[in-house]
Amino acid sequence: MNKINNDWEYIDQWSDAFIIDGSADKVVRLPHTVQELPLHYANSESYQKVVGYRK
């Protein structure tokens, strides 16, 4: 049985080409952590970005 959370393709930097035929950076399971950061890290540019998922 294949659950909806499994086997999502993920890219770390958004590209419109990913919609049509772009290759994924990796296959992940949702929920997925986009960026792991130290507990007291305050630079919002590290975790505010546009990524892509597709099934």
- Residue 18: its pLDDT value, please? 93
**pLDDT for 38:** 84
DSSP code string of 1-55: ---TTS-EEEESS--THHHHTPPPSEEE-SS--S----TT---GGGT----EEE-
Residue 43's pLDDT is: 79
* Confidence (pLDDT) at 35: 84
Encode pLDDT of 13-54 as tens digits: 999 999 888 899 999 999 998 888 888 877 777 778 899 999
Q: Decide if pLDDT at 1 tops 60.
A: no
Whether 10 and 53 have beta carbons less than 8 Å apart is answered as yes
